[in-house]
Structure 1
Amino acid sequence: MKRLKDFLGTGFYSGLSPYAPGTAGSLAALLIIFGIIYLEVYLLLLLLMILAILISFWTAPHFEEEYGKDPQRMVIDEWAGQSLTFTAITFTGNIHSDIIILLAGFILFRIFDIIKPFGINKIQNKEGTIGILGDDLLAGLYALMCLKTLIFVWPNLFGMI
């Protein structure tokens, strides 16, 4: 069971990257999200987010026990936050435009997750799974709001016109 928790909690081992494991985990999630968008099965995006949340609750106690408070190698919480970033986004069906949307969402999520403004830091300081997962979900929500705003303000930048 430990191996399965390590495999899932590290986002299929993407969190074992020696450099910026959170970014590596978010990028791994983005590749899966790209596949979902490409296949145009958007319900899978919601399913990915829910699964990542459930797996976070299941694996977080193990990771904290093994590696300490909010261990960097656990990135399934990044998967949940990265997925949330795109749950209410309308994609164009044009691969070029959709890649721009995905990259913008990825960058926004990473900015909020790294800088931790607007209460994200307070949530991260909570104990246990709430602290581990909550900051990434709030970062994903802020990234979603900013991405929706950017698409509304500059639709031609995202191929929406």
Structure 2
Amino acid sequence: MNALKFFLGTGCYSGLFPKTPGTAGSFVMLFPLYFILQLNSTWLILLIVTVSCLICIWVAGYFEEKYDKDPGLLVMDEWAGQSLTFLTIGLTGNPEDHIIILLTGFVLFRFFDLLKPLGVKKMQDMPGGWGIFVDDLLAGLYALLCLKTLIFVWPNIFGMV
């Protein structure tokens, strides 16, 4: 059972990247998101966020006991936050524009996840493993709001005209 927890918690081993496991885990999540976003299904993204959160809750105790509080190799929380960044974003049109949207969302999420402004850092203090992923959800929400704003302000850049 611990092997399954390790596999899922590390985001199919993407969290084993040596220097920046959270960034690697977030980047790996872009690949399934690319295909899922083309379906324009908010419900499917919401399902991914929910399942990622449930997995994170399930594996958090194992990772905290074996490694440390919120260890870097646990990236299922990044998967949840990175997915939330694209909750209401649909990909249509030119595939090059899709890459721009995905990379912009990725950079925005990593910005909020790493710097932890606007209350994101405070969320880490939540007990019982909740703090592990709630800060990533808030970072993902901020990234979503910024991405939607950028698409609204500069639709040409994102192929939304």
4+ residue segments displaced more than 4 Å: none
Specify the SS of the correspondent of 1:27: helix
Shift, 1:94, TM fit: 2.3
5 Å-filtered alignment, 1:18-37, equals 18-37=18-37
- Kindly provide the CA deviation profile for residues 40-64 of structure 1, in whole angstroms up to 9, marking residues without a partner as x: 2624322211110110111111111
Distance (Å, rounded) in 2 between the aligned partners of 1:57 and 1:29: 19
> Paired residue for 2:121?
121
Does 2:85 match 1:85?
Answer: yes
Structure 1 spans left out of the alignment, 5+ residues: none
Gap runs ≥5 in structure 2? none
Displacement of 1:34 after TM fit? 1.1
TM-score normalized by structure 2? 0.95
Q: When you count helix as a share of all residues, which structure comes out higher?
A: 1
Q: Quote the Cα distance in structure 2 between the aligned partners of 1:109 and 1:73.
A: 18
Q: How does 1:3-152 map to 2 (within 5 A)?
A: 3-38=3-38, 40=39, 42=41, 43-152=43-152
Identity %: 59
Are the aligned partners of 2:37 and 2:90 in contact in 1 as well (CA < 8 Å)?
Answer: no
CA RMSD between the two structures:
1.2
User: How does the TM-score come out when normalised to structure 1?
Assistant: 0.95
